[in-house]
Amino acid sequence: MKDLMLDIETLDVKTTAVITQLGACYFDRYTGKIGRTFLQNISVGSCLMYGLTVDEQTINW
């Protein structure tokens, strides 16, 4: 499979946003078949320790 999809879940729309989850998977755009996947949850607390940001409007959305 040659196609790769990446997904990043954040708690702000700025470049300094807390990241809560990273995900990725290989897929075939023609058949819809999904190959190898990757999923990693990230601690909000650890992101806040490094000065990353949270936006109330993003959370409410």
Give pLDDT tens digits for 3-61. Answer: 999 999 999 999 999 999 999 999 999 999 999 999 999 999 999 999 999 999 988 88
| Domain total of the chain | 1
Nearest of 37, 8, 43, 1 to residue 22 by alpha carbon: 8
Scan for tokens 């190898």, then name that residue: 36
**pLDDT in the model for residue 51:** 97
SS3 60: helix
Q: What is the pTM of this model?
A: 0.80
What tokens were used for 46?
């650890």
Query: What is the residue range of 7's domain?
Result: 3-60
Examine the pLDDT at 1 and tell me if it is beyond 90.
Answer: no
Spatial distance between the Cα atoms of 25 and 7, rounded to a whole number of angstroms: 9
